[in-house]
């Protein structure tokens, strides 16, 4: 199931609204707001006004709150970067940046190559 909505960051005053959040069909019931670790993939697409926030702040916070995969589509740099294996100091696996038009491999549970050609 995919969609966009608020992601809660417990213990902080922040809520993030990603461009896309892919979640399991049956996320933790009764848990209230969606938490980053309950997602399968979070996607952010930069704009002139939010580029640094998506590149730096959100990447750090999604890792801290254990979002398993974070895909950054950077329209200013014309590239995609996939971040995985979150930890308290950030993501420990980084694939990219890949220029728009280069397929980006999404690991399990997706096991597919994402066509980024339309982003170019």
Q: How is residue 42 annotated by DSSP?
A: E
Instruction: Give CA separation, 47 vs 53, 67, 72, in Å.
Output: 10, 22, 11
118: helix, strand or coil: helix
Strand order in the sheet with 41-45: 2-3, 20-22, 41-45, 69-74, 79-87, 90-99
What are the pLDDT digits (tens) for 13-67?
Answer: 667 788 888 888 775 555 567 788 888 999 999 999 989 989 998 999 899 989 9
Q: Which residues pair with 112 in a beta bridge?
A: 106
Helix then strand then coil, in percent of the chain rounded to 5, is: 15, 40, 45
pTM (predicted TM-score): 0.87
Q: Say whether the peptide bond before residue 103 is cis (omega within 30 degrees of 0).
A: no
Q: Is 2's pLDDT higher than 50?
A: no
């Amino acid at each position: 199931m995919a969609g966009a909505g608020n992601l809660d960051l417990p213990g902080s005053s922040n809520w993030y609204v990603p461009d896309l959040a892919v979640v399991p069909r049956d996320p933790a019931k009764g848990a209230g707001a969606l938490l980053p670790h309950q997602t399968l993939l979070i996607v952010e697409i930069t704009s002139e006004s939010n580029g640094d926030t998506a590149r730096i702040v959100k990447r750090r916070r999604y890792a801290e709150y254990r979002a398993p995969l974070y895909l950054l589509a950077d329209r200013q740099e014309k590239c995609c970067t996939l971040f995985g294996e979150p930890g308290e100091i950030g993501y420990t696996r980084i694939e990219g940046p890949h220029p728009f038009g280069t397929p980006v491999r999404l690991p399990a549970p997706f096991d597919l190559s994402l066509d980024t050609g339309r982003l170019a």
